[in-house]
C-alpha cells in the first residue's frame, strides 16, 4: 500500500477542534471541582474559570456553526447506518487481525459512520443538554427577576448538567483512544494537527498530495 | 461703550484686593469656640449646679426641661421589662422569661435591676408610674464614671464609699452626680454596653456577638463600629425616636426584601437591619451574592465567627454540678488554661469559647418561649427555652447564624415546669449563699405566684441567640468554600442546593463508574491490539 495524504481538516476546523478540546477539558476539570469531586483551584476560582470557559465555548460555537453552514460542512454529520455494522465488526475483531479498515476517508466523507453518529450525538444530545442546563445555571442570578424560580430548581438543573458532564467525559475518553485507530497509530492525530491525513493509497478522491 | 481688556483686568484685581483684605480681617477675628455635638451645654444649666443626693433628684432636674422624657421611657421595654408578642400573645420581657444562664430575675431584683433604666426596683412592688424613678444618666452619661452595682436595685453609690461585698475590704467610690449630669450627652457603645455587653452575669457571657471588646473595636472586629474608622454607636443602627430603641430580639426581622430606606418614605420598618441601609442587593461586583441574599441572611456570611474580640462567651452551663465545695469547705472556682472560669460552686460547670463558628438555621423571626406556665418533659432531647420558627418553604425564612446555648437547669419534675430560683442575695434563702435548691426555688416560684412541688431535678435545655453583631470587613467574610464543600458550614440545612456539598451520591457513583468502565474498556482494547500485533 502506498502512502497517500489527503487534506481533510481545514485551518478553521483545526482551530475549532483544538480550542474546543482545551475548553472542554477546562470545563470538565473545573466543573467536577465545583461539583465537589476534588480540590484543585479552590471553589471560587473554579467557578470563575468554569464561567469564562463556558462563555468562550459559546463564542467559539457561534463561529463554528456559521462556518459549518456557509461551507456546507454540516453535511459531514448527516447520519448514515450504511457500514455501521462493518465498523462495529472492525473495532470488535478486524482491528486485532490487521484487517483492512472498512471506511475510506475522503474529503467529502471525512468521518466514518460511527464517528458521524458519535459526533452527531455529542452535538445534538450531550451538547444541548449541557448548554441549556449550563445557561440556566449561569443565569441563576436572574431567575427571580425573570420569574423562573417558580419553574426551575437549581438542584435539577445541576443534576442534568452533571449527567451531561459525565457523558462528555466518557465521550472524551473514548475519543482520545479512538484517534489511535487510524491508518497508523498517529494518523488521525497528525490529520487534526496538520490537516493532512495519511490514507491507503487506493480509491482516493482528488486533490492528492504525495 | 466698551471697556478695554486692561480696564477690566485692573478692576478685577482691585476687587480681589478689597475682598482679600476683608477676609483677612475675618480670619483675625476668629469665631468663638462652641460645642458642636449639641445645642446645649448642660454644665451651664442652673438646674444642674446643685449637689444631688440621689438619682431621682437628678431626674427631677432633667424633667424640668425634658418634660416628656420620663413618660416616653415609661412606654419602652427598657423600663417595663415586659413585651407582648403580638403574633402569639406571649407575655415576654425580662420580667417574665427565663433563660439557661442565671435563669430569671424572680426574687433577684436588687441585683438584676442594676441594669434597669430606673431607680429602686427592689421587689415586685416597684411603682412603674413614678417619673423621677427613670434613670436618665445610665444611658446618657459621657464620663464613664456612672455605675450601678448589683444589689442596689438600680441605684448608683452616693454619699460615702460602699464596701462590696460587705466585709471584703473592697470599696466602690460614690458617683459625682453633679459632674455626670452636667456632662450629659448622647448614648454610646459604652453606655449601651454597660448592660448589654454583660448580659448573663458577665462580660460576653450571653450573646457571644456582644461584649466589652466592642467598646473600642478595630475594623476587623466590627467594620461599622471601628473606633478609628466609621465609629458607629449602637444608636447609629438602632436609630431611636421617643426613647424607644428598635431592633429587639423578642420579635426580630428575619427577612427584609426592601431596598435601602430613603427619607420620607412611608412605613420604614426596622432601622436596625442591614437592609435598612444596604438594601437587599448590595453586592455590586459579585452580583451572584445578591442571589445568595434571597435565602441567606447577611450575617451568615458577614459574621464569620462570634466572640472574636478576645472575650469568651458561655456555650454551656450545667447547674446540676453546682454545690461542690473545695477541700477547705469553702466555695471554689476552677479555671481553664486561658483563666476562664469553668466551674463555680454557686453555679456549676461552664463551657466557654472564643472565635465560635455559629450554627445555622432557617429562621422567619417567629420565637416562642417556654414560660413558667408551659409543661416540659425531661428527655435526651434538650427542651427549647425558645423555639424559633422557619423553614425552607415558608417564604419568610432566611438561613441565620445562631449561638445555641446549652443548659442543664433545675426544674420541677412533679409539676413538669421550669423553675425560677432565688439565686443572688445576702440572705438565708438565695442559692449562691446557701446552696440549697429547694428553699431557693420555693422562694422564687412563690414570688411569681407559680406552683412548686418541692422536688428538684435537672433538665437539658437549649436557647437560640440569632447572631448579628461583630460584622467583619468584606474580605474577612465567610469564603465560598466554607459552605461549598463536603464540610459545609450549612451541613444539614435543607431546601438549598449548594454545589460541591449537595450532590446526589448515586449519580456520582453511576457517572464515575461509567467513566471508569469506558477507560478500562479502551485500555483492554488497546492492550489486545498491542498483543495481537506482536503475534504477527
**pLDDT tens string for chain B (536 positions)?**
455 666 666 666 666 665 655 555 555 678 888 888 889 999 999 999 999 999 999 999 999 999 999 999 999 999 999 999 999 999 999 999 999 999 999 889 999 999 999 999 999 899 999 999 999 999 999 999 999 998 999 999 999 999 988 888 899 999 999 999 999 999 999 999 999 999 998 999 999 999 999 999 999 999 999 999 999 999 999 999 999 999 998 988 898 888 888 887 766 788 999 999 999 899 998 888 998 999 999 999 999 999 999 999 999 999 999 999 999 999 999 999 999 999 999 999 999 999 999 999 999 999 999 999 999 999 999 999 999 999 999 999 999 999 999 999 999 999 999 999 999 988 899 999 999 999 999 999 999 999 999 999 999 999 999 999 999 999 999 999 999 999 999 999 999 999 999 877 899 999 999 999 999 999 999 988 888 877 65
Q: What is the pLDDT of residues B420-463, one digit of tens each?
A: 999 998 889 999 999 999 999 999 999 999 999 999 999 999 99
Region A132-137: mean pLDDT is 94
Neighbours of B299 (CB within 10 A): 24
Closest Cβ–Cβ partner in B291, B503, B526 for A141: B291
Q: How far apart are CA B237 and CA B245, in angstroms?
A: 10
CB-based contact (8 Å) between A146 and chain B? no
**What pTM was estimated for this model as a whole?**
0.87
Q: What is the pLDDT of residues A147-176, one digit of tens each?
A: 888 888 999 999 999 999 999 999 999 999
Which of A37, A39, A43, A93 is the best mutation test for B, with the most CBs of B within 10 A? A43
Are B529 and A97 inside 8 Å of each other by CB? no
ipTM of the complex: 0.86
Residue A208: pLDDT band (50, 70, 90) is very low
The phi, psi pair for B500, rounded to 5°, reads 85, -20
Residue A123: pLDDT band (50, 70, 90) is confident
Looking at residue B498, the DSSP 8-state letter turns out to be: -
Alpha carbon B321 to chain centroid, angstroms: 28
Distance from B387 to chain A by nearest Cα, in Å? Answer: 29
Task: Show residues of chain A in contact with B289, CB under 8 Å.
Answer: none
H/E stretch holding B360: strand B359-363
Positive or negative torsion for Cα B150, B152, B154, B157? negative
Res A53 pLDDT > 90: yes
Which of A173, A182, A184, A185 is the best mutation test for B, with the most CBs of B within 10 A? A173
Closest Cβ–Cβ partner in B294, B528, B536 for A98: B536
Q: How far apart are CA B47 and CA A209, in angstroms?
A: 111
CB-based contact (8 Å) between B527 and chain A? no
Res A206 pLDDT > 60: no
Q: How far apart are CA B114 and CA B91, in angstroms?
A: 22
Are B511 and A158 inside 8 Å of each other by CB? no
Burial class from Cβ neighbours inside 10 Å (0-12, 13-18, 19+) for residue B126 reads middle
Res A63 pLDDT > 50: yes
The phi, psi pair for B222, rounded to 5°, reads -155, 115
Q: Between the CA of residue B116 and those of A53, B150, B434, what are the distances in Å?
A: 61, 11, 26
B156 and B189 in contact (C-beta within 8 Å)?
A: no
Closest Cβ–Cβ partner in A44, A173, A174 for B479: A44
Distance from B278 to chain A by nearest Cα, in Å? Answer: 19
The per-residue b/e assignment along A100-135, b for 16 or more CB within 10 angstroms, e otherwise, is ebbbebebebbbbbbbbbbbbebbeebbebbbebbe
Q: What is the SS3 assignment for A108? A: coil
Distance from A202 to chain B by nearest Cα, in Å? Answer: 23
pLDDT score of A98: 77
Paired strand residues for A92: none
pLDDT score of A72: 84
pLDDT score of B536: 55
Which has the closest alpha carbon to B92: B374, B297, B407? B374
My answer on whether omega of the bond before A207 falls inside 30° of 0, hence cis, is: yes
Are B499 and A36 inside 8 Å of each other by CB? yes
Instruction: State percent of chain A over pLDDT 90.
Output: 42
Q: Which residues, 6 or more positions from B99, have their beta carbon under 8 angstroms from its beta carbon?
A: B200, B206, B385, B405, B463
Residue A3: pLDDT band (50, 70, 90) is low
DSSP line for A11-67: HHHHHHHHHHHHHHHHHHHHHHHHTTS--SS-HHHHHHHHHHHHHHHHHHHHHHHHH
Q: How far apart are CA B317 and CA A79, in angstroms?
A: 73
DSSP line for B274-286: HHHHH-S---SS-
Burial class from Cβ neighbours inside 10 Å (0-12, 13-18, 19+) for residue B437 reads buried
Region A116-141: mean pLDDT is 89
Res A204 pLDDT > 50: no
Positive or negative torsion for Cα B527, B530, B531, B532? positive
pLDDT score of A200: 65
Q: What is the pLDDT of residues A75-93, one digit of tens each?
A: 877 777 777 787 888 887 7
Domain boundaries, chain B: 37-200, 504-536
H/E stretch holding B368: strand B367-369
Amino acid at each position: 500500500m502506498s502512502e497517500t495524504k489527503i487534506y481533510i481538516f481545514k485551518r478553521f476546523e483545526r482551530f475549532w477542534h483544538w480550542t474546543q478540546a482545551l475548553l472542554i477539558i477546562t470545563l470538565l476539570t473545573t466543573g467536577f471541582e465545583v461539583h465537589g469531586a476534588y480540590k484543585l483551584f479552590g471553589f471560587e476560582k473554579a467557578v470563575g474559570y468554569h464561567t469564562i470557559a463556558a462563555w468562550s465555548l459559546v463564542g467559539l460555537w457561534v463561529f463554528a456553526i456559521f462556518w459549518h453552514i456557509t461551507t456546507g460542512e454540516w453535511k459531514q454529520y448527516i447520519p448514515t447506518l450504511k457500514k455501521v455494522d462493518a465498523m462495529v465488526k472492525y473495532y470488535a475483531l478486524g482491528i486485532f487481525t490487521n484487517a483492512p479498515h472498512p471506511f475510506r476517508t475522503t474529503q467529502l466523507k471525512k468521518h466514518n459512520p460511527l464517528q458521524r453518529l458519535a459526533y452527531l450525538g455529542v452535538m445534538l444530545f450531550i451538547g444541548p443538554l449541557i448548554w441549556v442546563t449550563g445557561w440556566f445555571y449561569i443565569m441563576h442570578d436572574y431567575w427571580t427577576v425573570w420569574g423562573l424560580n417558580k419553574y426551575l430548581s437549581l438542584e435539577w438543573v445541576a443534576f442534568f448538567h452533571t449527567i451531561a458532564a459525565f457523558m462528555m467525559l466518557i465521550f472524551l475518553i473514548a475519543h482520545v483512544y479512538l484517534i489511535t485507530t487510524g491508518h497508523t497509530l498517529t494518523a488521525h492525530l497528525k490529520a487534526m494537527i496538520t490537516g493532512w491525513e495519511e490514507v491507503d493509497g487506493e480509491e482516493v478522491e482528488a486533490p492528492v498530495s504525495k | 461703550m466698551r471697556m478695554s481688556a486692561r480696564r477690566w483686568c485692573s478692576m478685577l484685581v482691585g476687587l480681589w484686593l478689597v475682598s482679600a483684605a476683608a477676609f483677612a480681617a475675618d480670619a483675625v477675628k476668629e469665631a468663638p469656640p462652641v460645642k458642636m455635638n449639641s445645642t446645649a451645654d448642660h454644665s451651664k444649666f442652673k438646674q444642674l449646679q446643685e449637689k444631688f443626693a440621689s438619682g431621682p433628684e437628678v431626674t427631677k432636674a432633667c424633667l424640668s426641661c425634658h418634660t416628656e422624657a420620663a413618660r416616653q421611657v415609661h412606654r419602652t421595654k427598657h423600663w417595663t421589662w415586659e413585651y407582648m408578642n403580638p403574633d402569639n400573645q406571649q407575655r415576654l420581657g425580662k420580667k417574665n422569661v427565663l433563660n439557661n444562664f442565671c435563669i430569671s430575675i424572680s426574687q433577684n431584683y436588687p441585683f438584676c435591676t442594676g441594669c434597669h433604666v430606673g431607680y429602686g426596683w427592689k421587689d415586685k412592688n416597684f411603682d412603674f408610674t413614678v417619673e423621677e424613678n427613670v434613670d436618665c444618666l445610665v444611658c446618657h452619661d459621657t464620663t464613664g464614671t456612672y455605675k450601678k452595682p448589683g444589689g442596689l436595685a438600680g441605684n448608683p453609690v452616693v454619699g460615702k464609699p460602699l464596701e462590696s461585698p460587705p466585709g471584703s475590704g473592697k470599696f466602690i467610690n460614690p458617683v459625682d452626680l453633679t459632674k455626670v449630669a452636667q456632662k450629659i450627652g448622647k448614648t454610646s457603645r459604652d453606655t449601651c454596653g454597660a448592660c448589654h455587653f454583660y448580659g448573663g452575669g458577665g462580660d460576653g457571657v450571653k450573646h457571644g456577638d456582644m461584649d466589652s471588646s466592642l467598646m473600642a473595636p478595630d475594623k476587623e472586629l466590627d467594620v461599622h463600629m471601628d473606633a478609628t474608622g466609621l465609629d458607629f454607636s449602637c444608636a447609629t443602627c438602632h436609630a431611636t425616636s421617643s426613647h424607644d430603641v428598635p431592633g429587639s430580639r423578642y420579635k426580630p426581622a428575619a427577612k427584609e426584601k426592601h431596598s435601602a430606606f430613603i427619607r420620607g418614605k412611608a412605613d420604614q420598618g426596622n432601622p436596625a437591619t442591614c437592609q435598612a441601609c444596604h438594601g437587599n442587593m448590595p453586592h455590586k461586583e459579585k452580583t451572584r451574592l445578591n442571589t445568595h441574599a434571597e435565602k441567606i441572611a447577611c450575617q451568615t456570611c458577614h459574621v464569620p465567627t462570634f466572640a472574636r474580640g478576645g472575650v469568651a462567651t458561655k456555650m454551656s452551663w450545667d447547674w446540676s454540678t453546682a454545690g461542690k465545695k473545695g477541700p477547705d469547705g469553702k466555695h471554689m472556682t476552677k479555671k481553664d488554661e486561658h483563666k476562664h472560669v469553668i466551674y463555680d460552686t454557686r453555679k456549676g460547670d461552664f463551657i466557654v469559647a472564643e472565635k465560635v463558628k455559629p450554627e445555622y438555621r432557617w429562621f422567619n423571626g417567629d420565637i416562642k418561649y417556654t414560660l413558667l406556665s408551659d409543661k416540659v418533659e425531661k428527655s435526651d432531647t434538650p427542651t427549647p427555652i425558645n423555639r424559633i420558627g422557619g423553614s425552607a418553604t415558608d417564604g419568610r425564612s432566611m438561613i441565620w447564624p445562631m449561638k445555641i446555648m446549652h443548659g442543664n437547669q433545675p426544674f420541677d419534675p412533679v409539676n413538669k415546669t421550669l423553675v425560677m430560683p432565688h439565686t443572688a442575695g445576702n440572705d438565708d434563702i438565695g442559692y449562691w449563699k446557701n446552696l440549697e435548691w429547694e428553699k431557693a426555688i420555693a422562694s422564687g416560684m412563690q414570688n411569681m405566684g407559680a406552683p412548686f412541688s418541692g422536688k428538684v431535678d435537672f433538665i437539658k435545655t437549649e436557647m437560640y441567640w440569632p447572631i448579628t453583631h461583630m460584622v467583619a470587613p468584606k474580605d474577612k467574610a465567610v469564603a465560598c468554600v466554607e459552605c461549598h464543600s463536603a464540610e459545609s458550614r450549612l451541613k444539614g440545612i435543607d431546601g438549598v442546593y449548594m454545589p460541591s456539598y449537595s450532590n446526589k451520591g448515586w449519580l456520582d457513583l453511576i457517572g464515575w463508574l461509567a467513566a471508569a468502565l469506558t477507560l478500562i474498556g479502551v485500555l483492554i482494547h488497546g492492550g489486545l491490539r498491542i498483543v495481537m500485533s506482536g503475534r504477527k
